[in-house]
Amino acid sequence: MMKERVILPELLDLLSPDDPDAMRARDEMLQINVLMGNHRWIERMICRHREWGWRITELGAGDGALSLRLLASGCCTEASLHAFDMARRPPHWPEAAHWTSGDILKQALPETEIVVANLFLHQFTGEELRLIGSRLSSVARLIVASEPARRWIHTLTGRLFCELAELNHVQRHDMQASIRAGFRGDELREALALDSSWQTSVSHHPCGAYRFMAWR
């Protein structure tokens, strides 16, 4: 079951940012990230493996919550932090930090040593992921990504969590779509077409996170 990735449109991407359902769904994502431990794990891995002065780019930064957490924890300075998203620069974004608004499939990626993605890469097809991988900067040394793990058990536990937490219809739909588009084994490494200069590791969180690291 669920041997192949299935990419389905997510409702949150189709709604206006100020739509009440979209605003509630984004708030609910904070609960989901806490449950999956995504932000904590990404912060821990970066602080453990980075070298001083390395710059960070977060792909699909959204409202900037994860990037601001990395900044607050001392993983980087404002000047070495770069976010990339379709959304506009948030009002609370630090003045010295960088923000690129645009389509990741149509623009060059920033030249940073660390690339971070949280619940973002699963939205892309294999061909699109290969394009993203080809646009990694030559100075990139560390990739840290937390994505949905594509396992049938998570479709069941996800439905249960949605019921218990009373999540709205947007999150109920998008959670299931995300799981079906998630990753297993070495799929993300293969999709990004990382060459032999990269070493990789994959681990899983019981609440459904596929944790991927690559370094060189």
For residue 17, the tally of other CB atoms under 10 A from its CB is: 12
Residue 2 pLDDT > 90, yes or no? no
d(CA 182, CA 154): 11
Query: Strand 114-118 relative to strand 56-59: parallel, antiparallel, unpaired?
Result: parallel
Q: Is residue 1 in some structural domain? A: no
d(CA 48, CA 37): 16
Q: Is residue 4 in some structural domain? A: no
pLDDT tens digits for range 118-152: 999 999 999 999 999 999 999 999 999 999 999 99
Query: Strand 209-215 relative to strand 199-205: parallel, antiparallel, unpaired?
Result: antiparallel
Contact 176/104 with Cβ under 8 angstroms? Answer: no
d(CA 79, CA 95): 9
Q: Is residue 146 in some structural domain? A: no
Structurally, the chain folds into a number of domains equal to 1
Residue 194 pLDDT > 80, yes or no? yes
Q: Is residue 3 in some structural domain? A: no
pLDDT tens digits for range 43-69: 999 999 999 999 999 999 998 999 999
Per-residue model confidence (pLDDT) at position 17: 82
pLDDT tens digits for range 161-171: 999 999 999 99
Q: Is residue 54 in some structural domain? A: yes
Q: Is residue 5 in some structural domain? A: no
Is the model more confident about 108 or about 59?
59
Q: Is residue 160 in some structural domain? A: yes
Name the pLDDT band for 101 (thresholds 50, 70, 90): very high
Per-residue model confidence (pLDDT) at position 39: 96
Closest by Cα among 69, 97, 73 to 85: 97
Name the pLDDT band for 174 (thresholds 50, 70, 90): very high
Q: Assign residue 82 the CATH number of its domain.
A: 3.40.50.150
Residue 190 pLDDT > 80, yes or no? yes
- Could you tell me the residue range of the domain that residue 104 belongs to? 11-140+152-215
Per-residue model confidence (pLDDT) at position 18: 87
Q: Is residue 48 in some structural domain? A: yes
d(CA 173, CA 159): 10
Beta-carbon contacts of residue 20 (< 8 Å; ≥ 6 apart): none
CA dihedral 214, 57, 131, 117 (to 10 degrees): 60
Contact 22/15 with Cβ under 8 angstroms? Answer: yes
